[in-house]
Structure 1
Amino acid sequence: MQRLPIRSLAGLAAIGLLALTGCGTEAGGPAAGRAAATGAGKDIRAQKVLRLTTVHEETGMTLLEGPVFDEDGGLIVVDVTAPAGEPKVLRVDVGKKTSRQVHTDDRGAYTSAQFSPYDGRLYLTDFSHGDIVSLAPDGSDPRTFYSGEVDGARMNPDDIAFDEEGHLYVSDSRGLTEGEAKGRVVRIDRDGRNATVLADELAAPNGISFDADYRGLWFSELTQNRVSYLLLDGEGGVASRHTAIRVDGGIAQTDSIAVDADGNLYQALHGRPAMAVYDRHGERLATVEVPARAAEGLESATNVAITPGGTKAYMTVSGPAGGYLYTFDALAEGIRQSNGG
């Protein structure tokens, strides 16, 4: 397998793990994109919690994603590029600063994690194989929830958002490796039987999250650096769609999205260990970033989980230096929309 610099899901290539390429984007150093990304709002410095992973010899990289709190307060994290036999899903005790393996297998490249409000199981997206799998909360009883084509094409599922009834909304990054706008937002019924395309011809959709009121979906397109809003009609369809935010990230690109209780968007940045925070009207409120002295060897901040009912946030950050958890104080309390995705 070709050994490439780590990329926050910009494309996967072969043998059960796909090499993350970044669609031609080269990640910069600690200050990459700083001028472009701090043009508005305040700066928030994240603090290191612990290093969770090192670069895997077999894959030449490590990439943490999908932080989500379980019912007992443990933080579940996935390592997208972990090889067979090494932890692909980890549980972190953020107080004790320890972690343990929850799940591994010889197949999946898992890019997100979230608990279903319907059955309480942990759902994972397997970007490489186009599947969505679920686990019992303790990591046992793996099941394939959805596999196969949607409207004649197999998915590259990236992130997940659940509605209040437990139906899934998936960002499908189909077309990413070809550099073509073939991506989609897909709705899958909670029983896994019916899948519907809600939006198509998208440029590598990545992050996806409901707004605070569950009226619509925010989703980002990695290769266009834009966030769009999909207003839903309440019956499983779409009422309208528009471009909501154009992210001025320099060489950094839009990755996963989380939303807090005030409706603020936390837009992760691929290509820089930072997040941009916007209000629901598109005003840039803040930039969360790893301090420059610690940023050497860290290339992307992929996602964040905010403590449910609290403001302590935990951000997954990765690069040649390893996979880390960083923490900061969010602008508002955490809700389901800021816990996994």
Structure 2
Amino acid sequence: MQRLPIRPLAGLAAIGLLALTGCGTDTGAAAHRAAPGGADTTIRAHEVMQLTKVHEATGMTLLEGPTFDADGNLLVVDVTAPPGGPKVLRVDVRRKTSRQVHTDDRGAYTSAQFSPYDGRIYLTDFSHGDIVSLAPDGGDPRVFFSGEVEGARMNPDDLAFDREGNLYVSDSRGMSEGEATGRVVRIDREGKDATVLADGLEAPNGISFDTEYRGLWISELTQNRVSYLRLGGKAGVAPLHSAIRVDGGIAQTDSIAVDADGNLYQALHGRPAMVVYDQNGERLATVEVPARAAEGLESATNVAITPGGTKAYMTVSGPAGGYLYAFDALAEGVRQSNGG
């Protein structure tokens, strides 16, 4: 199997290719080891199962957007699945089985989440700028939103829902050109009104509400920075500010999840790991794939924490294939740690 180089575009390593063609030793759920200084803990994740292999047609596999359905099954998207291949999979994590629930001939889906308004699955199509929805069983595909937002088409990456079912999207527009033209876009739950809440961002990727729905955490991948956008100020938002600087080395900031205690799980592209911070920016833990299993794995793109429980499942990908790894989260899962 040909080894693919680490891409500079976190969580969307395959999208550039798509755009040109058409974007240890521990076996327990989590083994904790105090890091020097005692402030940061290492959490060893363990392999649950391999979901995908590198696709011959695209030369990659990239798993993203894990989200639990009402039956406790995990939905996962494969960003680089070729036309006709499994683009959305439903995984029985207990039986360690998976099956295709959706495919099509064009989508490059980078996230998935269930709407609290209509219960449908919502997918972001990075390459075509669309938001697509599916019935809970994966059928009845619909284009929920398409077209320009304030004069420019989106490159939607991740999404988050508020309590009423309105969508908040990280728009990575300008990423391939290296321009700071990324945005945060709000789309009402009917898909009729889209508004830019923040712009001038550098490849925004992860997006998640805080536990009180007062603001949004947003990762800017080319800056290795997590910014915070408070909602409810003048004109509906307050100024966005840099909240956390992520020392990622060769890795870059990918998707974000938030647990019941408000802790942020920041996924990394370029390294099969996640870093965990509290809401005040203190680094609490690093979640890692054991070293002997990490060869051929380049990214931990996202995580879903079992709603009401602490078992966490992160999507990990690279030349070795696409995998699910599990670990014990620091607090219980909520809507903001279940998809996006």
Q: Normalization by structure 1: what TM-score? A: 0.91
Aligned to 1:149: 148
1:64-117 deviation digits (Å, cap 9, x = unpaired): 000000000000000000001110000000000000000000010000000000
Secondary structure at the residue paired with 2:295? coil
Structure 1 pair 236–90 and aligned structure 2 pair: CA distance change class (3 A): farther
Structure 1 pair 253–152 and aligned structure 2 pair: CA distance change class (3 A): same
1:132-185 deviation digits (Å, cap 9, x = unpaired): 000000000000000000010000000000000000000000000001111000
Q: Normalization by structure 2: what TM-score? A: 0.92
Determine whether 1:9 maps to 2:12.
yes
For residues 185 and 339 of structure 1, what CA distance do their matches in structure 2 show?
A: 20
Determine whether 1:74 maps to 2:77.
no
Give how far 1:235 is off.
Answer: 8.9
Q: Is contact 1:112–1:125 with CA below 8 Å preserved after alignment? A: yes
Aligned to 2:296: 297
Aligned to 2:311: 312
Secondary structure at the residue paired with 1:223? helix
What residue identity is the alignment partner of 1:9?
A: L
Aligned to 1:29: none
317-326 vs 37-46, which moves further: 37-46
For residues 135 and 235 of structure 1, what CA distance do their matches in structure 2 show?
A: 35
Structure 1 pair 38–63 and aligned structure 2 pair: CA distance change class (3 A): farther
1:263-298 deviation digits (Å, cap 9, x = unpaired): 000000010000000000000000001000000000
Give how far 1:240 is off.
Answer: 3.1
Structure 1 pair 64–15 and aligned structure 2 pair: CA distance change class (3 A): closer
For residues 111 and 42 of structure 1, what CA distance do their matches in structure 2 show?
A: 29
The number of residue pairs the alignment matches comes to 323
Q: Is contact 1:12–1:18 with CA below 8 Å preserved after alignment? A: no
Which segments of 5 or more consecutive residues in structure 1 lack a partner in the other structure? 21-36
Q: Is contact 1:76–1:91 with CA below 8 Å preserved after alignment? A: yes
Q: Is contact 1:11–1:177 with CA below 8 Å preserved after alignment? A: no
Give how far 1:242 is off.
Answer: 1.0
Secondary structure at the residue paired with 1:261? coil
Give how far 1:188 is off.
Answer: 0.3
Aligned to 1:134: 133
Aligned to 2:58: 59
Q: Is contact 1:306–1:338 with CA below 8 Å preserved after alignment? A: yes
For residues 17 and 124 of structure 2, what CA distance do their matches in structure 1 show?
A: 17
Q: How does 1:227-306 map to 2 (within 5 A)?
A: 227-233=226-232, 237-306=236-305
Secondary structure at the residue paired with 1:101? strand
What residue identity is the alignment partner of 2:324?
A: L
Secondary structure at the residue paired with 2:304? strand
287-296 vs 240-249, which moves further: 240-249
1:226-281 deviation digits (Å, cap 9, x = unpaired): 00111000798202321100001111000000000000000000100000000000
Which segments of 5 or more consecutive residues in structure 2 lack a partner in the other structure? 24-34
What residue identity is the alignment partner of 1:137?
A: P
For residues 94 and 132 of structure 1, what CA distance do their matches in structure 2 show?
A: 27
For residues 275 and 22 of structure 2, what CA distance do their matches in structure 1 show?
A: 26
For residues 107 and 256 of structure 1, what CA distance do their matches in structure 2 show?
A: 23
Secondary structure at the residue paired with 2:292? helix
For residues 304 and 21 of structure 2, what CA distance do their matches in structure 1 show?
A: 25
Structure 1 pair 180–16 and aligned structure 2 pair: CA distance change class (3 A): closer
Q: Is contact 1:44–1:289 with CA below 8 Å preserved after alignment? A: yes
Give how far 1:38 is off.
Answer: 8.6
What residue identity is the alignment partner of 1:186?
A: V
